[in-house]
Amino acid sequence: MTGLTSVPEVSAALAQRNYLADEGLATAVYLSSALRRPLLLEGEAGVGKTELAKVLAAITGGELIRLQCYEGIDVAQAVYDWDYSRQLLHLRAAEASGEARTRGAEALESDLYGERFLVKRAVLRALEPAARQPVLLIDEIDRADDEFEAYLLEVLSDFQVTVPEVGTFKAATPPLVVLTSNRTRDVHDALKRRCIYHWVEHPAFEREVRIVRSKVPGIAAVLAAQVAAAVESMRTMHLYKPPGVAETIDWATALATLGLTELNESVVTSTLGTVLKYREDQEKIRDRGIADLVREAFDRGLSLSH
């Protein structure tokens, strides 16, 4: 990233945009930029992997180009395709004008598979010249098939895409590439070798409090600490889907919207759906005892304020 020449500068730039990264993540971001290597972020859902790419785009001032992966995604949906309707219109126009007869089939076919009819999807667009360095977010790569993951190796190693009918498109200035994975399956070693790798942990208690206070302006300091403490306790309960930072922020925002300044048993019961998204997890919290959860959160929040 232009102008950011050290890990502390990266940390400061992220913090200015309310993204509080630990030293390990800031180092990975800096090395990814300095070495021109893609950044592969793995971790639980909701820990801030996708958000980091958005913040990096804000820092560079470039476009955030997002490719959401899913089972069955292929080159035509992610990299490039052909504008078949325009190709058909071109053929009909050539036939009507007599151009098809005078030029011959081979010349006409050459026209059809030229850059004029090429539809550039997310990956190819990220390689185009741009005034400011774009950020290519390849989100949830673990949801894509092995074949698509293998196709990306050329992009990740050489920042180029080969279109057989046209040629090779190579980025003059490589984009920042961020890949995320929730580890629903293991990403192959060949892809990992091309990336700077970082496992994104749930933040420590004190840092999560700072995140909540930065993302929810005006929230009471005690309430921010109690929310972070309660979520930290939930993550130790072997839930089906432990809450991530995104859920912590959602819960804190909901509580602040209700005008609350601290947790109590009644409000936790009524707002549990903003932090836990599965009925089984909510039942586990209720069975464990919401009163105990509130008491622990209160004590932890009080200790932080002192």
Architecture of domain 7-72+123-200: 3-Layer(aba) Sandwich (3.40)
Q: Is the pLDDT of residue 8 over 90?
A: yes
Q: Is the pLDDT of residue 68 over 90?
A: yes
**Displacement of CA 160 from its chain's centroid (Å):** 22
CA distance 158 to 163: 14
DSSP string, 164-189: TTTEEEE-SSPPEEEEEE--SSPPPH
pLDDT at 87: 86
Q: How confident is the model over 56-85, as a mean pLDDT?
A: 95
pLDDT at 299: 80
Which amino acid type is present at position 291? A
Which amino acid type is present at position 276? L
User: Can you give the pTM of this predicted structure?
Assistant: 0.89
CA distance 241 to 72: 25
Return the percentage of the chain with pLDDT > 90, whole number. 79
pLDDT at 107: 67
Q: What is the pLDDT of residues 113-126, one digit of tens each?
A: 888 899 999 999 99
Q: How confident is the model over 87-92, as a mean pLDDT?
A: 84
Q: How confident is the model over 285-289, as a mean pLDDT?
A: 90
Which amino acid type is present at position 45? A
pLDDT at 185: 92
pLDDT at 4: 79
What residue segments make up the domains of the chain, in order of their start?
7-72+123-200, 80-117, 205-305
Q: What is the pLDDT of residues 244-274, one digit of tens each?
A: 999 999 999 999 999 999 999 999 999 999 9
Strand partners, 282: none
Q: How confident is the model over 93-119, as a mean pLDDT?
A: 74
pLDDT at 92: 82
Between 190 and 107, residue with greater pLDDT: 190
Q: pLDDT band at residue 43, thresholds of 50, 70 and 90?
A: very high
CA distance 51 to 257: 23
Q: How confident is the model over 70-98, as a mean pLDDT?
A: 88
How confident is the prediction for the chain on average, in pLDDT?
91
**Do 263 and 226 touch, CB atoms closer than 8 A?**
yes
**Do 97 and 168 touch, CB atoms closer than 8 A?**
no
Q: Report the candidate in 240, 214, 154, 227 with the shortest Cα–Cα distance to residue 190.
A: 154
> What's the number of CA atoms in the CB half-sphere (13 Å) around residue 154?
16
For residue 162, CA distances in Å to 17, 79, 159, 179 come to: 36, 10, 10, 21
**Do 40 and 191 touch, CB atoms closer than 8 A?**
yes
**Displacement of CA 221 from its chain's centroid (Å):** 29
Q: Is the pLDDT of residue 59 over 60?
A: yes
pLDDT at 220: 92
